[in-house]
């Protein structure tokens, strides 16, 4: 597509007389991978809800994939956006491979009115391989670990070859090993899909993949700072965003945060 993948200008969201977002502007281009950070109640989920074409702003304009919200069929637009929500409910004992295929129709189970092509089956397997799930394609959803489900949902979101991928706290509930496997998978698929743009919401800097290129920090519905991570993710900006003194470190592309003077056990 020509132009930004996401263009937000002067957006307010007001609910019950309260501003959930205030004067937010944001532009995301193809190949950029944004982190959306902030404390609880900062407005992260509200913004992601709108960018996923599930809601409208009270004021301002939002263009997603070249379509202006309010002038487009929201349901149709959502078919071009990949959305990863670790709270996705699925109670059916579908195998991993079939769960990934449901991403083509965004339904909880396979659409038996359609025939899935050989190319679609191969794409599902390719995505599972990128995310380290190739040997688990027949594993049933009801017996999978939270980490396995997380990686499966990323593959599912990519089946329809979206230009925009939204990840809503994808590392929620994962243990250390599962989180590292998930983040490594996200890094790998970002490197292999050059034009993909993504936005990842999290509270925790440790949950950011190394491929994160930009960040938007929110506090009380307002933008604290945004831009390339070298400028936007610093001890000063994180301290302001979370209203707590923080020392930020980056090692081998990964971030960690501690309070000043904090030391581990001797």
- The answer to whether residue 186 is domain-embedded is no
- The answer to whether residue 120 is domain-embedded is yes
Domain count, the chain: 2
Question: 128 and 208: one domain?
Answer: no
Question: 35 and 93: one domain?
Answer: no
Question: 46 and 169: one domain?
Answer: yes
Residue 57: predicted pLDDT: 95
Question: 5 and 44: one domain?
Answer: yes
CA 20 from chain centre, in angstroms, equals 20
Question: 135 and 170: one domain?
Answer: no
- The answer to whether residue 189 is domain-embedded is no
Rounded to two decimals, the pTM is 0.89
Residue 171: predicted pLDDT: 86
15 burial level (CB within 10 Å; 0-12, 13-18, 19+) = exposed
Question: 60 and 169: one domain?
Answer: yes
Q: From first to last of the 266 residues of the chain, give the pLDDT tens digit.
A: 567 999 999 999 999 989 999 999 999 999 999 999 999 999 999 999 999 999 999 999 999 999 999 999 988 898 889 988 877 777 788 999 999 999 888 888 888 888 999 999 999 999 998 888 889 999 998 898 888 888 899 899 999 889 899 999 888 878 888 888 889 888 988 888 888 999 999 988 999 999 999 999 999 999 999 999 999 999 999 999 999 999 999 999 999 988 886 655 55
* Residue span of the structural domain in which 12 resides: 1-80+163-175+197-266
Residue 240: predicted pLDDT: 95
Whether residue 5 contacts residue 165, with contact meaning beta carbons closer than 8 Å, is answered with no
Which is nearest to 81 in space by CA: 50, 58, 56, 60?
Answer: 50
- The answer to whether residue 28 is domain-embedded is yes
Residue 266: predicted pLDDT: 52
- Angle at CA of residue 130, ends 54 and 95, nearest 5°: 70
Residue 264: predicted pLDDT: 53
């Amino acid at each position: 597509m020509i132009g930004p993948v996401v263009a937000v200008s002067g957006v307010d969201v007001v609910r019950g007389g309260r501003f959930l977002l205030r004067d937010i502007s944001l532009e995301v281009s193809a190949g950029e991978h944004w982190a959306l950070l902030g404390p609880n109640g900062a407005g992260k989920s509200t913004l992601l809800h709108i960018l996923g074409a599930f809601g409208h702003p009270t004021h301002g304009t939002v263009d997603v994939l070249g379509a202006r919200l309010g002038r487009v069929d929201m349901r149709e637009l959502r078919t071009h956006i990949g959305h990863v929500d670790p709270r996705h409910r699925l109670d059916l004992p579908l195998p991993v491979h079939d769960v990934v295929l449901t991403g083509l129709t965004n339904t909880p189970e396979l659409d038996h009115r359609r025939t899935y092509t050989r190319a679609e089956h191969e794409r599902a397997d390719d995505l599972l391989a990128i995310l380290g799930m190739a040997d688990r394609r027949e594993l049933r959803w009801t017996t999978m670990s939270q980490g396995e489900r997380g990686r499966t949902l990323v593959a599912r979101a990519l089946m329809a070859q979206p230009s925009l991928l939204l990840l809503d706290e994808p590392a929620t509930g994962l243990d250390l090993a599962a989180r590292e496997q998930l983040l490594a998978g996200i890094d790998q698929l970002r490197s292999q899909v050059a034009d993909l743009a993504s936005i990842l919401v999290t509270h925790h800097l440790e949950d950011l993949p190394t491929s994160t290129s930009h960040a938007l920090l929110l506090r009380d519905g307002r933008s604290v700072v945004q831009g390339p991570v070298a400028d936007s993710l610093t001890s000063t900006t994180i301290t302001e965003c979370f209203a707590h003194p923080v020392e930020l470190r980056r090692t081998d592309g990964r971030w960690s945060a501690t309070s000043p003077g904090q030391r581990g056990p001797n």
